[in-house]
Structure 1
Amino acid sequence: MPTPSQLFGPAPTTREGWAGALLALAAPATRTAAAGPGRMPVHASMSDPQAVWFELVARPLWGLAAHAAGGLSGADRQWEEVRHALTRAVDPGHPWYVGRPADMDQRLVESAAVGYALAVARHHLWDPLTERQRQQLADWLSTAASATPWDNNWCFFPVLAAVGLRSVGVPVDETRVAAHLDRIEDFALSDGWYADGPGTPERPGSRDHYVPFGFHFYGLLLASLKAVDEERGRRYRQRAAEFAGQFEHWFAADGAALPFGRSLGYRFAQGAFWSALAAADQPAVGWSTARTLAQRNLAWWWQRPVLAEDGSLTVGYAYPNTGVVEQYLAGGSPYWGTKVFASLAATEDHPFWTAPSAPDLPPGISSQPAAAMILARDAAGNVVALAGQNAPAWNPRGGTAKYAKFAYSTLAAFNVPTGEPSLEQGGFDSALALSDDGERWRTRSAGESRIDGETLVVRWQPWPDVTVETRLRHTDGGHLREHRITTGRRLHTAEGAFSVPKTGLGATPHNVTERPGLARATADTAVSEIVCLAADAARREGVVVLPLPGSHLLHPRTALPTLRGVLDPGEHVLRCRVSLTRR
């Protein structure tokens, strides 16, 4: 599969280049959407076919609307194709009609993009329509604005739908809008973070990329449009500024963002927060830093084979792979990534576009209690986060792997299980897997966590008679793990380091070391090692596991250094050091 650089040229570095990149990315989407639902690529998704098609219709609007808001030209064809598809999608008498937005329905997500586009680009999306088409669009969007969203970041969607309606003179239920905005306040945490949904003070909802490309993105747009009261807008801006100082530590020097949590298949959206700061003219970490982080992340993605031959975005992460994304992602879903082009709404003389590049962040530690993380940046600029969150209770595909591993890395990413949790199918990198039969394995998916100084402590219970307290701490060149295990049953153990690309031809990987107490795998890009500490070396054997192909976010085939052992009933302490070094 081609990379954006192969089809569209080098990664853009100017506002004009960003505008051209957006149009190049959007063109296959709007063209396919305008051909109707029957032309959509087939992808397994929990959404119905009409909703899947409507994603492709609406999601490019996040970028196209910003492009129009910034006074840029050259998108006439894309807008014509969007109008062609959208007017039919909301026409109850047309075969392409997507249906009325129901409570907690996928169509509510897309109503937000339509609402934002009406608010900032009505000359493209509203003014050219006939009176009948306007009425049908207003009726459809009014239904979306009145529907009940899921109780998380979705609370913004009916609000944005209402903002679009207001902008074209259609009355909205302001009481309902205020209720959604008030509910969003309940999700606010310290340091500018939000919880993506309800929880408890000890176990809040997920804290992942939905905080920057969801909560803050929408809040900044609403503040910039003066679509909320002055005090609420001030809070949105203040929280975004506080959050920026934490989120900058999620990006490596090479531009890679920390892969953590769900919806990683939205790819470019990882950098959307930095662009939204520009769209809202909200200073935070300095415009040089904001631009550099957005620019580097986009350039990192520009080198990944994420496109089909026609230039359309595929489903997956760093390569086409439906197995590592959630059950709600389909062919049009990745175009949420056009949110990264929000900065096009800022004029060409805005400091986001004119500021010089920022220097790399120095090596160091960033403790982020609201996210239950301690992040470390090494001398090469790679980032590793020690993590203490839980897998979401609603069970997204790969939820445990995406939230509950011990560590996440910008260089190594992670594996997602592909089936019955054997070692090869489980791909248990950055995890301690336990089994009472040596065949079926369990890892931490939930439990308690706390930050104790520079140590992250997680307590978990894979069986009623097995309790594990894990202590994680960064050290020079890696991190230390200590597991205090109390077990009422005999346990097989398998503790994984980070996965690296599998090298060599044939079934056996090259450049691996396996011996008592140590396992190492050397690839072209990195060296991953796990080594026992103290007396543990005599009890655990070093092996290199080969997770099933297609289970990893970055690499189709991987090798995973692992320590294996057996524990009798009783109390035990396992200690090891895990390192990952760029080559």
Structure 2
Amino acid sequence: MKRLNYLILLLIAVMILPASSLQAKGKKDKPSKEQQVTTGAEDRATWVKLMWKISYPVVHNLAEGTLRRNMPIETRSGNTRGYDEVTYLEAVGRTLAGVAPWLALPDDDTEEGKLRKQMREEVLKGLKNAVDPNSPDKLNFTKQPQPIVDAAYLVHAFLRAPKALWEPLDDTTKQRYIESLKALRNRTGAYNNWLIFTGLNESFINWAGGECDPFRLKIAKNKIREWYVGDGWYSDGPKFSMDYYNAYVLNPMYVAMLETLAAKKRASQKEVDEALQRMIRHSEFCERIIGPDGTYPAFGRSVTYRTAAFQSLADVALREKLPAHVTPAQVRCALTAVHRNMYEGNQNFDKNGWLVLGFNGHQPEAADGYTSTGSLYMATLSFLPLGLPADNPFWTDAPADWTTKKAWKGENLPKDYKVEY
């Protein structure tokens, strides 16, 4: 009878307890991703590995002149006609905008340093190929409106790492880029965040010594400022859209544009400071949407840009401008959890290592009609803090819980607020 009662109790336990609970009784399993506590050095190694995994196919193939040959073109509809004219510049500009701060770090003899030097050398080789008329991978700046967008991401890379990516280029290559940017002026795009792309392109021409278009600069600067709706958020055009474009484009690129203009006395420091404070506020929202398990909601347009949703947060962390109640360690730990969820597995990559359409997996139905394979490489924008050296507190401080993790554990939670600027 005792044995029968024992078997009945065991059966009940099997029925009502999760499998993980029973396994824990018998052995100590390796902690899940969410449970693992890692050091800052381990987190940095993970970031480098995952950023390399995403970006190296683009960087290496452009350097070798094989980007067009080897990069697939995937679209929601399956029709690739016309995308072959724009997707490669998308891949290059968006990839480099994210990896630029890391490439700006000095060389050293560490394993990471060797990888960084290798990538920097290949990037510089590829940048020359990208505007060489005789290169099979010469990028398109003259057909369709889309290059207006992705030239701006490439410009953002130059501005984030001028000494590493712009100054080493030979004069002929530099002039080719300036002429390529000027060639964009015979087209216009949508009356929304596209104004920032135009403005950033023109501000870079001015910064690099070329002759910019003052009218395009004025329209971009003034309209984006008019579209500010408060609390760190801009309207994407005349009407507000609830999506991640404030991180993809609006906050980081507006700050970059104003900083570049201020260096040439075309914007005031007050304008720069105002825009930066707005981005800092927006970065707080970015941090708070990261769930306790390192997931975040998939809503709005262009969710296939994946972790570009955290560009505001990553940019503010890189600048070491995080609010006092948002510590560098909690941002590091939160983004590490996000990166591991997204990129440690292969669900977001094809068999050759290229990103696939989707949010977390191959989900082409989630893509917008303007999205193709190259569009996805905006994902690198969440890795900007790799531009902070390994001995920076972002990487050396002890692990810390982020806001939602503390909230759902019942720990002290700082009161949220709204800003008036």
Same fold (TM over 0.5): yes
C-alpha RMSD over aligned residues = 3.2
1:108 maps to which residue? 148
Q: Deviations over 1:476-518 (max 9, x none)?
A: xxxxxxxxxxxxxxxxxxxxxxxxxxxxxxxxxxxxxxxxxxx
Q: Distance in 2 between matches of 1:229 and 1:349?
A: 34
Cα contact 2:318–2:388 (8 A) shared by 1: yes
1:457 maps to which residue? none
* CA spacing shift, 1:99–1:295, aligned 2, 3 Å: closer
Cα contact 1:57–1:82 (8 A) shared by 2: no
1:143 maps to which residue? 183
The structural deviation recorded for 1:39 is: 2.8
Cα contact 2:282–2:312 (8 A) shared by 1: no
The structural deviation recorded for 1:137 is: 1.5
Q: Which residues in structure 2 correspond to 1:496-575 (within 5 Å)?
A: none
Indicate the SS of the match to 1:62.
Answer: helix
* CA spacing shift, 1:177–1:301, aligned 2, 3 Å: same
Cα contact 2:74–2:356 (8 A) shared by 1: no
Q: Distance in 1 between matches of 2:146 and 2:396?
A: 38
Q: Distance in 1 between matches of 2:287 and 2:158?
A: 31
**TM-score normalised by length of structure 2:** 0.73
1:333 corresponds to 2:375: yes
The structural deviation recorded for 1:253 is: 0.4
Indicate the SS of the match to 2:188.
Answer: coil
1:184 maps to which residue? 224
Q: Aligned to 1:321, which of 360, 363, 371?
A: 363
Q: Aligned to 1:21, which of 46, 50, 57?
A: 50
User: Quick check: which one's strand share is greater?
Assistant: 1
* CA spacing shift, 1:236–1:29, aligned 2, 3 Å: same
1:229 maps to which residue? 268
The structural deviation recorded for 1:13 is: 4.1
2:70 maps to which residue? 39
* CA spacing shift, 1:190–1:298, aligned 2, 3 Å: same
Q: Distance in 2 between matches of 1:110 and 1:143?
A: 14
Q: Deviations over 1:220-264 (max 9, x none)?
A: 445666655311111112212333343433221011111111111
* CA spacing shift, 1:35–1:95, aligned 2, 3 Å: closer
Could you tell me which amino acid in structure 1 is paired with residue 86 of structure 2?
A
* CA spacing shift, 1:39–1:245, aligned 2, 3 Å: closer
Could you tell me which amino acid in structure 2 is paired with residue 318 of structure 1?
N
1:66 maps to which residue? 101
Q: Distance in 2 between matches of 1:230 and 1:86?
A: 32
1:78 corresponds to 2:78: no
2:315 maps to which residue? 276
The structural deviation recorded for 1:128 is: 4.1
The structural deviation recorded for 1:12 is: 7.8
The structural deviation recorded for 1:326 is: 0.9
Q: Distance in 2 between matches of 1:166 and 1:279?
A: 25
Q: Distance in 2 between matches of 1:325 and 1:260?
A: 12
**TM-score normalised by length of structure 1:** 0.54
Q: Which residues in structure 2 correspond to 1:80-95 (within 5 Å)?
A: 80-91=121-132
Q: Aligned to 2:277, which of 224, 228, 238?
A: 238
Q: Which residues in structure 2 correspond to 1:143-182 (within 5 Å)?
A: 143-144=183-184, 148-182=188-222
Higher mean displacement: 65-74 or 324-333: 65-74
Q: Deviations over 1:394-430 (max 9, x none)?
A: xxxxxxxxxxxxxxxxxxxxxxxxxxxxxxxxxxxxx
Q: Distance in 2 between matches of 1:77 and 1:108?
A: 29
Higher mean displacement: 222-231 or 57-66: 222-231
Indicate the SS of the match to 1:189.
Answer: strand
Q: Distance in 2 between matches of 1:213 and 1:338?
A: 11
Could you tell me which amino acid in structure 2 is paired with residue 106 of structure 1?
Q
Could you tell me which amino acid in structure 2 is paired with residue 260 of structure 1?
F
Q: Distance in 1 between matches of 2:282 and 2:86?
A: 33
Q: Distance in 2 between matches of 1:28 and 1:77?
A: 13
1:293 maps to which residue? 334
Q: Distance in 1 between matches of 2:288 and 2:360?
A: 21
Q: Deviations over 1:79-121 (max 9, x none)?
A: 4444444444434566644444467x11111111221222243
Could you tell me which amino acid in structure 1 is paired with residue 334 of structure 2?
L
Consecutive unaligned residues of structure 2, counting only runs of 5 or more, are: 1-32, 108-112, 412-421
Cα contact 2:104–2:164 (8 A) shared by 1: no
* CA spacing shift, 1:43–1:230, aligned 2, 3 Å: same
The structural deviation recorded for 1:283 is: 2.1
Cα contact 2:142–2:184 (8 A) shared by 1: yes
* CA spacing shift, 1:13–1:92, aligned 2, 3 Å: same
Could you tell me which amino acid in structure 1 is paired with residue 395 of structure 2?
W
Indicate the SS of the match to 1:328.
Answer: coil
1:564 maps to which residue? none
* CA spacing shift, 1:319–1:308, aligned 2, 3 Å: same
Higher mean displacement: 126-135 or 274-283: 126-135
1:249 corresponds to 2:288: yes
1:125 corresponds to 2:165: yes
Could you tell me which amino acid in structure 1 is paired with residue 330 of structure 2?
T
Q: Distance in 2 between matches of 1:276 and 1:95?
A: 34
Q: Aligned to 2:84, which of 46, 49, 56?
A: 49
Cα contact 1:271–1:297 (8 A) shared by 2: no
Q: Distance in 2 between matches of 1:16 and 1:229?
A: 39
2:352 maps to which residue? 310
Identity over aligned pairs, percent: 23
Q: Across the two proteins, how many residue pairs are aligned to each other?
A: 355
Q: Distance in 2 between matches of 1:363 and 1:18?
A: 21
| Structure of higher RCO (CA pairs closer than 8 Å, 6+ residues apart) | 2
Could you tell me which amino acid in structure 2 is paired with residue 18 of structure 1?
W
Q: Distance in 1 between matches of 2:280 and 2:140?
A: 39
1:489 maps to which residue? none
Q: Distance in 2 between matches of 1:69 and 1:262?
A: 32
User: Quick check: which one's helix share is greater?
Assistant: 2
* CA spacing shift, 1:128–1:246, aligned 2, 3 Å: closer
* CA spacing shift, 1:75–1:249, aligned 2, 3 Å: closer
Q: Distance in 2 between matches of 1:229 and 1:290?
A: 30
The structural deviation recorded for 1:293 is: 2.7
Cα contact 2:129–2:138 (8 A) shared by 1: yes
Q: Distance in 1 between matches of 2:256 and 2:66?
A: 31
